[in-house]
């Protein structure tokens, strides 16, 4: 498969042309999802649109993509220039949905059907394509609309909330985040991640030499230990270990590998603070470190990484023992 990649700086989206076998491409994406892409779809473009009538050509393009669709998302690049098209998207969305309904190309509430995407590069240029549920984003533009809880001690709580939505499937969230489970939060202060777990009914040992928020520190589900997060281990295994400490990625990877390999935790969500350059190479290095450690101990496991919307110069990982 020979691809031509267009990844212009500041554009906020990447295109790959030359995909002849879309089924093979979709299978490859499912097997190894791209780590830094928030949303992706297969289609074509850019298509020229007239200000007089954008709807008719978009419906015509949609007809070539194998309708019906479960929904249609009008999107823009996540840049200041791209966001200038958000008003246009809001105006066109109900008109396009009506036109697709009239052509029997929308079947809402059918999760196995593809999603239709229209990405406006400009007011008169759009890319049109489809994504499948296993490989596409759950949200338009890959942005989860998570409200900042007033009671949460810090905005970092949104990172863990998004991680649990993105890196776990529905069954894992139902069975692996049950009230009464036990967790450890390494580098907890001021408590954003601890708060997120407590809201789900987990009891949490919050490990940090810094202070927790006053309300969280008084919560009966929280035990605050002012000790070194790198050295701490629980007296008996816990269901979860979460970690958002600011350390070299390889040190966090080694820490995670040790916890999972030794059985100190069943599951873990962790952040790797990435360097300014060669970020993908650093993720690969940390992934190999974790896999090598677990493979040597013959541990059966799941390991996933994604750069989340609420991440910055970091990437979030999830690792779970499966046997």
- Rounded CA separation 277/287 (Å): 17
CA-to-CA separations, 194 to 26, 93, 268, in angstroms, rounded: 37, 39, 13
User: Residue 151 domain-assigned?
Assistant: no
Q: What is the pLDDT of residue 23?
A: 76
CB 216 within 8 A of CB 192: no
Q: Which of 13-22, 141-150, 178-187 has the lowest mean pLDDT?
A: 13-22
Number of structural domains found in the chain: 2
CB 135 within 8 A of CB 26: yes
Check whether residue 317 and residue 172 sit in a common domain: yes
Check whether residue 127 and residue 220 sit in a common domain: no
CATH of the domain at 103: 3.30.2300.20
Check whether residue 215 and residue 299 sit in a common domain: yes
Check whether residue 171 and residue 302 sit in a common domain: yes
Q: What is the pLDDT of residue 32?
A: 80
Whether omega before 264 lies within 30 degrees of 0, making that bond cis, reads no
Check whether residue 198 and residue 109 sit in a common domain: no
Please write the tens of the pLDDT for every residue from 37-66: 999 999 999 999 999 999 999 999 999 999
Please write the tens of the pLDDT for every residue from 213-250: 999 999 999 999 999 999 999 999 999 999 999 999 99
Q: What is the pLDDT of residue 2?
A: 67
Residue 29 pLDDT grade (very low, low, confident, very high; cuts 50, 70, 90): confident
Hey, what are 112's tokens? 């196995």
Other CB atoms within a 10 A radius of the CB of residue 129 amount to: 21
Q: What is the pLDDT of residue 114?
A: 94
Hey, what are 270's tokens? 């962790």
- Tell me: pLDDT of 26 over 90: no
Nearest of 114, 3, 132 to residue 62 by alpha carbon: 114
Catalytic residue set: 273
| Mean predicted lDDT score pLDDT of the chain | 94
Check whether residue 84 and residue 177 sit in a common domain: no
Q: What is the pLDDT of residue 76?
A: 96
Check whether residue 284 and residue 229 sit in a common domain: yes
The contacts of residue 169 (CB under 8 Å, 6+ apart) are none
Residue 100 pLDDT grade (very low, low, confident, very high; cuts 50, 70, 90): very high
Check whether residue 161 and residue 270 sit in a common domain: yes
Beta bridge partners of 303: 319
Mean pLDDT of 286-294: 98
Nearest of 308, 320, 6 to residue 159 by alpha carbon: 308
- Rounded CA separation 149/110 (Å): 31
Q: What is the pLDDT of residue 21?
A: 73
Mean pLDDT of 284-298: 98
Please write the tens of the pLDDT for every residue from 74-83: 999 999 988 8
Q: What is the pLDDT of residue 3?
A: 75
CB 76 within 8 A of CB 83: yes
Phi then psi for residue 29, to 5 deg, are -65, -40
User: Residue 152 domain-assigned?
Assistant: no
Beta bridge partners of 182: 203
Mean pLDDT of 300-318: 96
Q: What is the pLDDT of residue 1?
A: 53
Check whether residue 81 and residue 175 sit in a common domain: no
Mean pLDDT of 275-285: 94
Query: How large is the angle between the packed helices 86-102 and 55-63, nearest 10 degrees?
Result: 60
Check whether residue 45 and residue 161 sit in a common domain: no
């Amino acid at each position: 498969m020979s691809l031509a990649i267009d990844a212009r700086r500041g554009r906020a989206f990447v295109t790959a042309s030359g995909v002849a076998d879309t089924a093979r491409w979709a299978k490859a994406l499912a097997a190894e999802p791209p780590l830094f892409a928030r949303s992706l779809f297969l289609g074509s473009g850019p298509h020229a649109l007239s200000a007089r009538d954008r709807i008719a050509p978009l419906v015509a393009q949609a007809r070539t993509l194998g309708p019906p669709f479960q929904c249609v998302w009008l999107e823009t690049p996540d840049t200041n220039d791209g966001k200038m098209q958000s008003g246009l998207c809001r105006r066109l969305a109900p008109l396009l949905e009506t036109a697709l309904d009239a052509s029997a190309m929308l079947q809402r509430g059918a999760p196995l059907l593809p999603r239709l995407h229209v990405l406006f590069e400009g007011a008169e240029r759009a890319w049109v394509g489809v994504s499948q549920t296993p490989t596409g984003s759950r949200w338009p533009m890959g942005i989860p609309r998570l409200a900042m809880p007033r009671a949460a001690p810090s905005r970092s709580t949104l990172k863990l909330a998004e991680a649990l939505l993105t890196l776990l499937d529905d069954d894992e969230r139902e069975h692996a985040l049950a009230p009464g489970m036990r967790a450890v939060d390494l580098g907890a202060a001021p408590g954003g991640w601890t708060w997120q777990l407590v809201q789900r009914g987990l009891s949490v040992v919050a490990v940090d030499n810094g202070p927790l928020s006053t309300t969280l520190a008084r919560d009966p589900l929280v035990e605050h230990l002012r000790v070194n997060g790198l050295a701490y281990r629980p007296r008996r295994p816990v269901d979860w270990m979460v970690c958002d400490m600011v350390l070299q990625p390889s040190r966090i990877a080694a820490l995670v590998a040790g916890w999972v390999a030794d059985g100190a935790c069943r599951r873990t969500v962790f952040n790797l603070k990435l360097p300014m350059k060669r970020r993908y190479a650093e993720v690969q290095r940390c992934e190999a470190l974790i896999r090598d450690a677990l493979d040597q101990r013959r541990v059966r496991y799941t390991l996933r990484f994604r750069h989340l919307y609420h991440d910055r110069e970091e990437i979030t990982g999830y690792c779970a023992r499966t046997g």
